[in-house]
Amino acid sequence: MSDLSNDTIIEFENVSFSYNSDNNAKDNEVLHNINLSFKKGELVAVVGRNGSGKSTLAKLCNALYEPNNGRVIVNGIVSGTEKNDEEIRKHVGMVFQNPDNQIVATIVEDDVAFGPENLGIDPLEIRQRVDDALKKVGMYEYRLEQPFKLSGGQKQRVAIAGAIAMRTECIVFDEPTAMLDPLGRKEVLSAVRTLVDEYGITVILITHFMEEAAQADRVIVLNEGCVILDNTPEKVFSKSDLLNSIGLDIPQITKFCALLGLGNSVLTVDQAYDLLIPVLEKNS
Amino acid sequence: MNHFVELKDISYSYTQGSKNRVFAVKDVNFNLNKGEIVGIIGHTGSGKSTLISVFNGLLKPASGSVFVDGQDIFQDKKTLYNVKFKVGICFQYPEYQLFEETVFKDIAFGPKNMKLTSDEVKQRVISAARYCDISEEMLNKSPFELSGGEKRRVAVAGVMAMNPDILILDEPAAGLDPAGRTKLIGLIRDYNRTTGSAVIIVSHNMEEVCSLCERVVVVNKSKIVLDSALDDVFSHSEMLSSIGLDVPDVTKLFLKLKAAGVDLPTDVYTPEQAAEILKPLINRR
């Protein structure tokens, strides 16, 4: 066991990664010397352009990839050996972008049971976990449906339930809403928020949507394999020039409020509304 | 005056002949002229994709008729075959459909099937590659060596290479990062201006449609509920938001302020416009 303080769930220590490991040239590196720690119960968004290293970072979190240099430590377990990696994947689950690529069974509840079944868990316990997981994502009524009949947002929620049924403490989402319509996005995001707020699950959310990142507790900005910002969404999105220079947007509302001189850390419609209502009513 | 495309009273059902027939598209009328750039917006299941599949005869409507270039596309097999070259559709996530050994061959697939000479095919590939900012070096690569954004552009080029009179793109920018989105949107706009081909963009994303299209068609529950010039669309913000479309955040804010009794227009969709309107209201203390 390591000496990490026990509120840390995942720790990156000087992590570098390259897809081309036989050729150790530095220019092939996708991530350079990353140091990060994720705290239990946090909702952390990771943003960055295509090719910035976001998905690689995600896959290092649950030992799908091994770092070339440095260490990834999950709950005190260092990734890199078969035994440790297997253990890490029980702690950290993943949900990918395309809902159709990660559903394996023909009935919703069978799909959710797939993970725990592979862990060799007692059938009665599995039953309980599946029901519980489906309730947490609001899909319990659909437990006997065929997955192909569900909408994209519903399928993603089934995939999330699959991760919860493994009793993972942390779920890494790799652009879970990229293929969904606005309604599906809302459903998945609110399921994610529930996981964090009500069940204390740690969530790492990789996204291209700045409005989604604005709802996180913390935002990490990656550019060309390096962490260039790591702070609250208010602080991160106040750096609009820096973000624009690396090809990222800031939320519309943040931009609007900055133009109006209402500060550069307003993130949501509701916050802007609360700021505007008193100043506007005085005038009428 | 005839329009280049005319859909007359189109209805289509995926459960043809069953007792409880559900229509994916019902009594739709739509016209399109060359050179137009139109956004079709609506949420999942509204009938958008069904509608575009009717445009080039991939789906045959249960009733109604489709005219392209003055001809009923279902009149005979030959017309139905040829309309595929006049109306090019690029479906969602087209990068999964790349299959050739090289990018060049992949883009050449469409024009080859048009029985053009190999010189003509080459010309087509080169000009389509130019529209999509695909370098000569990239043409010789395998599609699988490219990034997601590059693959997407290759797939779009493959449709452009057929020189369609109408280019239809279903969610062209979905899943791309902000810079990739902006780039693709710019390329599509240039293509429309340079070639004079009509372009139809199907999207969930209101901001994307606004940044590109001059005319916006809103589909809801199998019907066209709005077909208007861009400037006019957001005067219907309340309706758009009531049918679950994701109006831009500043539009949402203005709707909310208006509901609270502040006298504001609701046809606002950019932060700049919105700030311009509110500034005088705030500074007057």
- Tell me, yes or no, if A279 comes closer than 8 A to chain B by beta carbon: yes
Residue A34's pLDDT is 96
Residue B95's pLDDT is 81
Q: What is the mean pLDDT of residues B67-84?
A: 93
pLDDT digits (tens, 9 = 90+) for B76-134: 999 999 999 999 999 887 888 888 899 999 999 999 999 899 999 999 999 999 999 99
Q: What is the mean pLDDT of residues B153-179?
A: 91
Residue B10's pLDDT is 93
Residue B234's pLDDT is 82
- Tell me, yes or no, if A151 comes closer than 8 A to chain B by beta carbon: yes
ipTM: 0.76
- Tell me, yes or no, if B186 comes closer than 8 A to chain A by beta carbon: no
Q: Please give the residue that has the higher pLDDT: either B186 or A4.
A: B186
Give the percent of chain B with pLDDT over 70: 98
- Which element (helix H / strand E) includes A240? helix A240-245
Q: Compute the Cα dihedral for A243, A249, A253, A259 and give only its sign.
A: positive
Asked if A220 and A36 count as a contact pair (C-beta separation under 8 A), the reply is yes
Using CB atoms within 10 Å of the CB of residue A83, give its burial: 0 to 12 exposed, 13 to 18 middle, 19+ buried. exposed
pLDDT digits (tens, 9 = 90+) for B212-241: 899 999 999 899 999 999 878 888 888 888
Q: Please give the residue that has the higher pLDDT: either B26 or B247.
A: B26
Residue A26's pLDDT is 63
DSSP-derived secondary structure letter, A100:
G
Spans of chain A, pLDDT less than 70? 1-5, 21-27, 281-284
Residue A1's pLDDT is 44
Lowest mean pLDDT among A131-135, B135-139, B142-146: B142-146
Q: Please give the residue that has the higher pLDDT: either B20 or A240.
A: A240
- Tell me, yes or no, if B261 comes closer than 8 A to chain A by beta carbon: yes
Tell me the pLDDT band of B283, cut-offs 50, 70 and 90. Answer: low
Phi/psi of residue B30, nearest 5 degrees = -155, 135
User: Between A and B, how many CB-CB pairs are < 8 A?
Assistant: 102
Contact map slice: A 16-55 vs B, CB within 8 A: 48-51
DSSP-derived secondary structure letter, B91:
-
